[in-house]
Amino acid sequence: MELDQVGRKTISLKFKQFFTQPLPPEIVWQALPPKLMSGDPWVLGLDGKWLRKQGVVLVYRDVTHKQNLFQSFWRSESYMAIGTDLPKLIKLLDGNLPSGVISDWKGSIVAGVAMYFPGVPHQRCLAHVVRDAKRLLPKRSPFLATRVLRQIALQLPYITTKKTKKGQTSLSKADWLAQLIRWEKRYGHLLIEKTIKTPNNAIKSDGKIRKQKKWWYTHGNLRRAWNLLTKDWNPFFTHLDHPFIPHSNNSLEGVNSQIKKRLSQHRGMKTLQQASFLFWYLVFTRTKTKQDLKKLWGVWKQRKKDNLATVYYP
């Protein structure tokens, strides 16, 4: 039958069963064991893809072998979400724990990794840090302090050593931290500068009066950027002690980019439909041959025939 002879409603009915019954990652793992099962050292990458702020698909990826291992859908990137997923993943790993972890350093992820992978080095994704710094520090800011701090932030991904060696041309950790110290000595007073509430500045641009706030930091974004770069900078440099860990989660960023592209190509789906669609997309990234597809098709048909429970969406 030609595609143009099939009605929209018919196609919708045929595909509805796939939206309601995506394969759980545990079943995919059994059908298509990942490369990390060979026992080689590997690094776990964690990130989430938000769906219209109605929920988030959490993706757990072996960034060393570039394979998606596990995915789940939650209302938020909460402690409960991470604390539920990681034990399931650990059970599947069967003792082959990651040699390192990289993430965007959200509090729930940091706490979960510390609890379930104690002692495993955890790198903070520098791509996320630089992206946040760019947002807080405009390129064409009228303030020299903002532009200088932006340039310091942009250097983070290019740090290759802890200390400067003789004849070294690349940036070192010591040089970068020294730049932050010099910046603070010259512009640090801006971080504590305050604006006091007066009748002239008590009204916001939207016309609403500020309530219960008598003062605020004049350079709020500059202060936030400074805290971003200095409050907890040790995880920026984990990769210097453990070269097998990448400094940026580019492998997962690529996955998120493809996810965004696929969702834009299939607009109009509800949130749970989007989650199911992404489950299938991440499953198909594990297939490399027609034989792999046949295995997944066989597993799915058997589960449907047995009327087994599908993926649980909290």
Q: Tell me which residue of 255, 224, 240, 252 sits closest to 123, measured CA to CA.
A: 240
DSSP annotation of 307: T
Terminal Cα-to-Cα distance of the chain (whole angstroms)? 39
Q: β-strands 100-103, 43-50: how paired?
A: parallel
Q: Which fold is adopted by the domain 1-125+249-314?
A: Nucleotidyltransferase; domain 5 (3.30.420)
CA–CA separation, 128 and 115 (whole Å)? 23
CA–CA separation, 113 and 47 (whole Å)? 13
CA–CA separation, 217 and 220 (whole Å)? 5
- Map residue 16 onto helix, strand or coil: helix
Domain boundaries, given as residue ranges, for the chain: 1-125+249-314, 126-236
Task: From residue 300, give the alpha-carbon distance in Å to each of 118, 180, 280, 292.
Answer: 36, 55, 11, 12
| Sequence-separated (6 or more) residues with CB below 8 Å from residue 200 | none
Residue entry with tokens 């740090």: 159
- Residue 103, exposed/middle/buried by CB under 10 A (0-12, 13-18, 19+)? buried
Q: Which residues, in sequence order, are bridge partners of residue 226?
A: none
pLDDT (tens, 9 = 90+) of the chain, 314 residues, equals 445 567 767 766 667 777 777 888 888 998 998 887 667 889 999 999 999 889 999 999 999 999 999 999 999 999 999 999 999 999 999 989 999 999 999 999 999 999 999 999 999 999 999 999 999 999 999 999 999 999 999 999 999 999 987 777 789 999 999 999 999 999 999 999 999 877 665 555 555 555 567 888 999 999 999 999 999 999 999 999 999 999 999 888 888 888 989 888 888 888 888 999 999 999 999 898 999 999 988 988 888 777 665 555 55
Ramachandran bin of 34, using left for φ above 0, alpha for ψ from -120 to 50, beta for the remaining angles: beta
**pTM for the model:** 0.87
